[in-house]
Amino acid sequence: MLKIPISCSNASYDVLVGSGLLTHSGNLVTKIVSPGRCAIVTDSNVEKHYLKPVLTSLKNVGFKPLTLVVPSGERSKSFRHVRSLCHSMITAGLDRKSVLFSLGGGVIGDLSGFVAAIFHRGIPFVQLPTTVTAQVDSSVGGKTGVNVAAGKNLIGAFHQPQLVITDPSTLDTLPNREYWEGFAEIVKHAIIRDVAMLEILSPERSKDLGALIARNITIKSALISSDERDEKGLRTLLNFGHTIGHGIETAAGYGALLHGEAISLGIIAALWLSVRFSGLQRSELERVIGVLHRLSLPITLPNKISTGSILTAMRKDKKFEQGKLRFVLTHRLGSAYLSAEVSLQDTHAAIEFLRKL
């Protein structure tokens, strides 16, 4: 088992990484919180694979779990499901001392984390991530939220987990598309902090991603520890590729493109802008395009997603501040910085570039 400590201004916790940890989740959690009433939020896909071992483990140490299952997919990140989950928890008698367990990918983590943040003004929260995206990125850092028609994650709260239990063996049941989309976040981390990772990303599915997951969490930990609430610009570097990527994801319609698929396109656009504004070598852009393509991630924007709809979605994104667009760019792979010099016209050109690949 690998342990990565996370230290923020208002919370400190550990990320535990190791195959088979899910079946020991009860024992691991009792070191942090006392057993009692709890809720497990999961989705209809994860339920059939991993709910039973988690329930057994929690019950064995004295927890009394309430199971709450939502449909799989991005559409579950909605106020409708927030209301439903809160109502079920209230009806079942959960209170401010109860614990909420999030068992699933990024959608479940964001949704249940937001519920944990607002239920009785905040209850303890434990992440049990089961996808690549969640394990290398979204389960850590305390960002929670739901989508609305205007954009992705526009309603949310910061609410750090008490513990993150990452079991890479859960990735074995992911379909190929859901498996590879998570690697967009790994490529992002390589671009902003650890370019050597690009050389070890194989197009073959790995039997043990534990060390790679820990390497990515360490990168994220360093950025969020010094800028927990994204106020200094350091944590913003984690948004590399997300400015246009989120716009594409929203414009396509939630679920049409998986998060990582949209971010893959956003990464290419951000690199193209970096060539134009930051002196990034064109060969470096082409290098990353080759890596993304090798990992079965999209590199071409479908014509059915209009540039206008992407720009409209971007204008409502959190990355606009006082009418100005913030972009994360890179001078060279392995580092990144926040730029305010990219205009909407430049963004339009970057989106059009994605159609030519």
Residues 244, 267 contacting (CB under 8 angstroms): no
Residue 215 falls in the annotated catalytic set = no
By CB atoms closer than 10 A (0-12, 13-18, 19+), residue 186 is: buried
Query: Which member of 77, 216, 235, 249 is catalytic?
Result: 235
Distance from C-alpha of 354 to C-alpha of 357, rounded to nearest angstrom: 6
The HSE-up count of residue 253 (CA atoms within 13 Å, CB side) is 5
Active-site position among 24, 188, 189, 242 = 242
Candidate list 24, 143, 188, 193, residue with the active-site label: 143
Residue 348 designated active-site: no
CA 242 – CA 255 distance, rounded (Å): 16
Is 143 among the catalytic positions? yes
- ∠328-300-346 over CA atoms, to 5°? 40
Active-site position among 231, 304, 321, 356 = 231
Catalytic residue among 77, 193, 239, 249: 239
Do residues 106 and 143 make contact, with C-beta atoms less than 8 angstroms apart?
no
**Residue in 77, 152, 189, 246 annotated catalytic:** 246
Whether residue 304 lies in the annotated active site: no
Closest residue by Cα to residue 247 from 306, 313, 327, 188: 313
303: annotated active-site residue: no
Is 193 noted as a catalytic residue in this protein?
Answer: no
State how far the Cα of 214 lies from the Cα of 291, in Å rounded to an integer. 21
Q: Mark whether 259 is an active-site residue.
A: yes
Backbone angles phi, psi at 32, to 5 degrees: -115, -45
Nearest to 144 by CA among 97, 87, 102: 102
Which listed residue (153, 220, 228, 249) is catalytic? 220
Please say if 153 is a catalytic residue: no
Give the active site residues: 121, 143, 185, 220, 231, 235, 239, 242, 246, 259
